[in-house]
Amino acid sequence: MNITEFRTKLEKQLAGDNHTFSFDKDKGVLRVEHTKLKKGVDLDLNKLLAKNTNNQQQALDDSVHFIRTSFEVMAREVTLEGKEKYILPVLRSTSFPTETKDGKELLYTEHTAETRIYYALDMGEAYTMLENETITREGYTPEQIKELALFNVRGLKTSYKTDHVAGNTFHFVNTNDGYDASRLLNEAFVEKVTEKMSGDTAIAVPHQDVMIIAELNNKEGYDILGQMAFRFYSDGRVPITALPFLYENHKLEPIFILARKKPNEDKK
């Protein structure tokens, strides 16, 4: 299935649901607008097809579900009273918009040179980014929302899997709940994982559904982490940054890794 066929089938399944479509041929991005809500979502069709070469029908089904769910969430009136425990922080790249398409300012906090913290209300299958206008209307201050979000992220499950490669250790947080990268803001968890590391400590948040915490003991470890971060960044539905961070004294410093070879390449 090529991009034209995928786009045709997707639009056919969504036809009749108050949707309009516009396609950017240069970028391969399909924008689906809801005529009543006057809001829309963007889909990178090139990335979807590249990520699902072996199961394009599943990619199509997932795209339809994502769009419909997104609009269902957008249609709900956002109220915060009684839902405080569902307010959570989400990491995004610094290129992510700071306001909505209709000009409403989102609540956010500067984080690193590569990342920014936004705040969201979890609504089940999806979440909605919180706007300053909504927060004010509901009687909260930005500081209160930020404190609630950081408190709530500390309560998320923080399990991880570990892999050892070429004398280096990699821990993967990958629960797919939409907040894996957000766990970077749980300082107690990060400190617990890193406190016994003897080598250099590095962290990567290539997209919202994964965080990598690594103990790097040699140059090959840096190469491996660079490859991992770039691959995850390329495959993620919501990419954040392909640059890993060195972590020291509770501070994050972006590092550029020019990998000399792939991690699985045999030594010569």
Fill in the amino acid letter for 4.
Answer: T
pLDDT(121) > 80: yes
If asked whether residues 70 and 139 sit together in one domain, one would say: no
The total number of structural domains that make up the chain: 3
* Averaged confidence pLDDT in the chain: 89
If asked whether residues 135 and 217 sit together in one domain, one would say: no
Residue 60 falls within a domain, yes or no? yes
If asked whether residues 102 and 68 sit together in one domain, one would say: no
pLDDT tens for 173-226 read 999 899 999 999 999 999 999 998 999 999 999 999 999 999 999 999 999 999
Residue 263 falls within a domain, yes or no? no
Q: What angle do CA 24, 29, 34 make, to 5 degrees?
A: 95
If asked whether residues 55 and 127 sit together in one domain, one would say: no
Q: What angle do CA 180, 185, 186 make, to 5 degrees?
A: 85
If asked whether residues 170 and 94 sit together in one domain, one would say: no
**3-class secondary structure for 51-75?**
HCCCCHHHHHHHHHHHHHHHHHHHH
What is the per-residue pLDDT for 259?
A: 53
CB 180 within 8 A of CB 203: no
If asked whether residues 128 and 187 sit together in one domain, one would say: no
pTM value is 0.80
What is the per-residue pLDDT for 136?
A: 94
What is the per-residue pLDDT for 50?
A: 75
> What size, in residues, is the chain?
268
How far, in Å, CA of 49 to CA of 59, rounded? 7
Averaged pLDDT for residues 110-124 = 94
Q: Give the pair of three-digit tokens for residue 219.
A: 């140059």
Residue 53 falls within a domain, yes or no? yes
Residue 249 falls within a domain, yes or no? yes
88 forms beta bridges with 120
**Residue 12 belongs to domain with CATH number:** 3.30.457
pLDDT category at 262 given cuts 50, 70, 90 is very low
Q: Which of residues 132, 153, 174 is at a domain's end?
A: 153
Residue 51 falls within a domain, yes or no? yes
pLDDT tens for 227-244 read 999 999 988 888 999 999
How far, in Å, CA of 224 to CA of 205, rounded? 15
Residue 217 structural domain: 161-254
Phi, psi torsion values for 43, nearest 5 degrees: -125, 125
pLDDT(258) > 80: no
Residue 196 falls within a domain, yes or no? yes
If asked whether residues 145 and 167 sit together in one domain, one would say: no
Averaged pLDDT for residues 42-68 = 82
Q: Which of residues 75, 98, 114 is at a domain's end?
A: 75
If asked whether residues 241 and 171 sit together in one domain, one would say: yes
Q: Which of residues 27, 47, 75 is at a domain's end?
A: 75
Helix (H) or strand (E) holding 228: helix 219-235
- Sign of the dihedral defined by the CA atoms of residues 30, 31, 34, 35, in that order: negative
If asked whether residues 182 and 198 sit together in one domain, one would say: yes
E strand segments, 17-106? 19-24, 29-34, 39-44, 87-93
Averaged pLDDT for residues 129-156 = 96
Residue 56 falls within a domain, yes or no? yes
If asked whether residues 97 and 132 sit together in one domain, one would say: yes
What is the per-residue pLDDT for 144?
A: 97
Cα dihedral 93→97→99→103 (10° resolution): 180
Residue 107 falls within a domain, yes or no? yes
If asked whether residues 130 and 205 sit together in one domain, one would say: no
If asked whether residues 249 and 166 sit together in one domain, one would say: yes
